[in-house]
Structure 1
Amino acid sequence: MKSLNIVKIGGNVIDNQDALNEFILAFSKLEGYKLLVHGGGKIATKMAENLHLKTKMIEGRRITDDHMIDVITMTYGGLINKKIVSQMQCYGINAVGLSGADGNLILSEKRSKKDDIDFGWVGDPKQVNGKWLRSLIMEELVPIIAPLTHDGKGNLLNTNADTIANVVGVALSSFFDVSINYCFELNGVLEDIHNQSTLIKDITYEKYQILKKNGVIVQGMVPKLENAFDAIQKGVKGVRIMNHRSISKLEKEYYDEFTTIH
């Protein structure tokens, strides 16, 4: 099977136009089949503030009420997605911007209340139209996927971008040798979040459990790694966590510069 690189970009890179420009240029030079999933939470928060809407977060997760889903849709599916698509075009990449509603790409369930917490219009994916997505890729289009899915009832759902990279990777693993690359502003998984030189180069599930127990892996890195191990278990060839600048080195085997998940 041919190889496919799925790249998820998030963190402070989306929020920094210079860093984003640098990443898009590097991504455009990545050879072979590729696909991009993006986040953009900080920009959505700023947009909400401009509209005098208060952002509510619980354990790092955004409460998405009727007003916030409109902000999320405008920001993720519009502003961020289309800016990235247009920048890709200027580098000769024939990109196509998608949400999970387009082509019934990602059907999700609205998250149920838990411990009296109502997350609102937040979705957990249950089905991916991998065959349709494959057809776009084989037409040499580069999908740019926003973190929005739908529930089949006419509602859009705010959905974690790391999870989208996971489920899309699993769905496409029947057609390609898939690698998922989680890119952000750090070098990978670090023993000391304040020291970029403390990169952990390889993590197995057993090692992950120890690092988590010892408080080395916390907060947003936990769901990222949970998604990584889930993807590998379900057929994805490999997962890497890296600095956005390392995307240009994927095919050159610079394994000392990012975290590889086994």
Structure 2
Amino acid sequence: MKKLTIVKVGGKVIDEASALNAFLKSFSTLEGEKILIHGGGKIASDFGKKLGVEPKMIDGRRITDAETIDLVTMVYGGLVSKRIVSKLQALKVNAIGLTGADANVIPATKRPIGAIDYGFVGDVKPENINTEILKKLIDSGLIPVLAPLTHDGEGHMLNTNADTIAASVAAALAQQFEVKLIYCFEQPGVLSDFENKLVISEIKRAEVAGLKESGVINEGMLPKMDCALLALTHGAKSVRIGSFENLSALANDQSGTLISN
């Protein structure tokens, strides 16, 4: 079975040209088959303010109304995607930028209205992923670069969490590849001591609940951990979380936090 490395990157690296260049250079050196999933950084919010579209947030989550879905489609699927793809092409990586609507790669379901109406936000599951298309792209020598956008099959784009997309893609492709999923963000891994940046080298599934209860796993790390467990449940070989500055070391199991069964 061929090995496949799936890398999700987000946060400030998307916003800073020098950091993004360094990250993509590391990504270009990863051996074997690979997929990149990117977030949007602050660029959508910054562009929105220039266009008079103020970001609407509740409990740290973006509310994606009709104006905002147009904005994030332009920024994530256009500016950010093509910026990344063009930089990868310069590094001799034959990347192809996609949203979930392209080739029906990631159909999703619009999130039902509950206590909060999140608007045009998509929920995706591993069974939604069009693995046939992704495998054809990979087998043809292309490197898929997936933006955090899906579609509902009825003509509407949906803003979708990039961590969830990464986990779902990893889970879906685990039947066809030996999948390693890497989450890259600002911190060096899951931290036992945030102030001193003490990294937990490995977290087993059975330890997750206790770490959540104690507050070690909190806030933005909670959904990442849930996504990691989703990927492992569906057969991903390993999941590693760490700094975008250490991608090569993460890929070689020399950095970050390993999430394991």
Q: TM-score, with normalisation over the residues of structure 1?
A: 0.96
In angstroms, what is the RMSD of aligned CA positions? 1.1
- Tell me whether 54-63 or 229-238 shows the greater mean CA deviation: 54-63
Residue by residue over 1:118-168, the C-alpha shift from the partner in whole angstroms, topping out at 9 and shown as x without a partner, is 000000014110011001001110000000000000000000000000111
Alpha-carbon distance in structure 2 between the residues aligned to 1:57 and 1:195? 30
Aligned to 1:201: 201
The answer (yes or no) to whether the contact 2:172–2:234 under 8 Å persists in 1 is no
Aligned to 1:58: 58
Amino acid at match of 1:259: T
Is 1:70 paired with 2:95?
no
The alpha carbon displacement at 1:252 in A equals: 3.6
The answer (yes or no) to whether the contact 1:203–1:261 under 8 Å persists in 2 is yes
Alpha-carbon distance in structure 2 between the residues aligned to 1:112 and 1:33? 36
Secondary structure of 1:107 counterpart: coil
Aligned to 1:226: 226
* Matched-pair identity in %: 50
The alpha carbon displacement at 1:57 in A equals: 1.3
Aligned to 1:260: 258
- Tell me whether 207-216 or 221-230 shows the greater mean CA deviation: 207-216
The alpha carbon displacement at 1:186 in A equals: 1.0
How many residues in Structure 1 have an aligned counterpart in Structure 2? 258
The answer (yes or no) to whether the contact 1:202–1:260 under 8 Å persists in 2 is yes
Amino acid at match of 2:174: S
Aligned to 2:39: 39
The answer (yes or no) to whether the contact 2:99–2:149 under 8 Å persists in 1 is yes
Amino acid at match of 1:187: P
The alpha carbon displacement at 1:206 in A equals: 2.5
The answer (yes or no) to whether the contact 1:60–1:220 under 8 Å persists in 2 is no
The alpha carbon displacement at 1:222 in A equals: 0.3
Q: TM-score, with normalisation over the residues of structure 2?
A: 0.96
- Tell me whether 200-209 or 149-158 shows the greater mean CA deviation: 200-209
- Tell me whether 7-16 or 187-196 shows the greater mean CA deviation: 187-196
Residue by residue over 1:210-242, the C-alpha shift from the partner in whole angstroms, topping out at 9 and shown as x without a partner, is 111111211111001000001101111110001
Secondary structure of 2:64 counterpart: coil
- The 4+ residue runs of structure 1 with deviation greater than 4 A are none
Change (3 A) 1:73 1:236: same
Alpha-carbon distance in structure 2 between the residues aligned to 1:119 and 1:252? 38
Secondary structure of 1:35 counterpart: strand
The answer (yes or no) to whether the contact 2:12–2:41 under 8 Å persists in 1 is no
5+ long unaligned stretches in structure 2: none
Task: Show the 5 A alignment for 1:117-128.
Answer: 117-126=116-125, 127-128=128-129
Amino acid at match of 1:51: L
Aligned to 2:166: 165
